[in-house]
């Protein structure tokens, strides 16, 4: 079978233009809303935490990380809302009959919601949170019966390096950075694939399914620990046998990194074959 049956650059370009013509207003409002929400919630949170951020360096890393965590939840909602036409029976039929291969349709959603949207969203977050910090105003507070001036100028502006900095100011190990980065990426692809797996309320069902899978995995691990290490296992306190693989990694850490590095490929394949199944 010729490769053009799976991907043709001209056909993909027409599919991309059609999507932009139909959804350009929605995409623009989404990015605008993202920035507005980031600024408002960021200002409210930083304003309520500025005293601790001025007095303690670790509070700077913690509070910016919390803001970013809530922001990523919103990004996850956008990614998990891929293939919006699949939630309606009539729209699904029209979408599946749209000229374009299954690979091109998956690639288009991946391009828009991952390759293009995520970097734009990260830029919007940086701008929004920096504007929120710049909007903080000095105020006098009573601390231990002494009036003190809380000057927000003492709070550093957000930098993405804060997200991988420990409370003592030390940067994370390489394996920790890879685990978190690809872990977020893999979960995003999981939400992306869930949009093709479920028909209605796909995002909600996908999140619930992830919780069920996590709990089932923990229960399975606890069961194995009770079977193979009954004397050292008490309730959910499991015994995990680990060994040093390299000078910097244990077997458990290597497993965690490998899972985050490669699981997104599995989820992406599921998304492709589920959409292919719907077309058939």
Q: What is the pLDDT along the chain (280 residues), one digit of tens a residue?
A: 577 778 889 999 999 999 999 999 999 999 999 999 999 999 998 888 877 887 777 788 888 989 999 999 999 999 998 898 888 888 888 888 888 889 999 999 999 999 999 999 999 999 999 999 999 888 776 666 667 777 788 888 999 998 988 877 788 888 889 999 999 999 999 999 999 988 888 899 999 999 999 899 888 888 877 777 777 777 777 766 777 777 778 888 888 899 999 999 999 999 999 998 887 6
Which residues are bridge partners to 165 per DSSP? 171
Contact 116, 78 (CB under 8 A): no
Angle subtended by helix axes 102-110 and 174-197, to nearest 10: 130
Our measurement of the distance from residue 107's CA atom to the centroid of its chain's CA atoms, rounded to an integer in Å, reads 19
Residue 121 structure tokens = 């969203």
The per-residue DSSP string of 29-61 comes to: HHHHHHHHHHHHHHHHHHHHHHHHHHH-HHHHH
Residue 119 structure tokens = 């970097």
């Amino acid at each position: 079978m010729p490769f053009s049956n799976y991907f043709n650059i001209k056909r993909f370009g027409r599919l991309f233009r059609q999507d932009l013509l139909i959804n350009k207003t929605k995409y623009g409002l989404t990015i605008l809303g993202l920035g507005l929400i980031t600024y408002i919630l960021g200002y409210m949170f930083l304003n309520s935490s500025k005293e601790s951020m001025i007095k303690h360096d670790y509070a700077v890393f913690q509070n910016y990380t919390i803001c970013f965590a809530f922001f990523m939840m919103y990004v996850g909602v956008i990614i998990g809302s891929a293939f919006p036409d699949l939630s309606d029976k009539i729209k699904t039929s029209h979408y599946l009959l749209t000229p374009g291969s299954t690979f091109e349709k998956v690639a288009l959603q991946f391009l828009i919601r991952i390759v293009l949207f995520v970097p734009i969203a990260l830029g919007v977050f940086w701008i929004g949170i920096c504007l929120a910090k710049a909007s903080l105003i000095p105020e006098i507070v009573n601390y231990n019966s002494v009036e003190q001036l809380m000057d927000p100028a003492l709070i550093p502006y957000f930098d993405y390096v804060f997200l991988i900095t420990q409370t003592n100011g030390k940067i994370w190990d390489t394996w920790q950075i890879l685990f978190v980065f690809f872990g977020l990426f893999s979960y995003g692809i999981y939400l992306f694939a869930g949009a093709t797996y479920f028909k209605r309320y796909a995002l909600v069902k996908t999140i619930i399914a992830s919780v069920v899978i996590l709990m089932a995995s923990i229960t399975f691990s606890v069961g194995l620990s009770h079977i193979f290490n009954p004397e050292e296992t008490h309730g959910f306190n499991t015994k995990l046998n680990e060994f040093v693989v390299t000078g910097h990694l244990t077997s458990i850490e290597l497993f965690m990194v490998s899972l985050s590095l490669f699981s997104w490929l599995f989820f992406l394949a599921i998304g492709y074959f589920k959409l292919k199944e719907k077309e058939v």
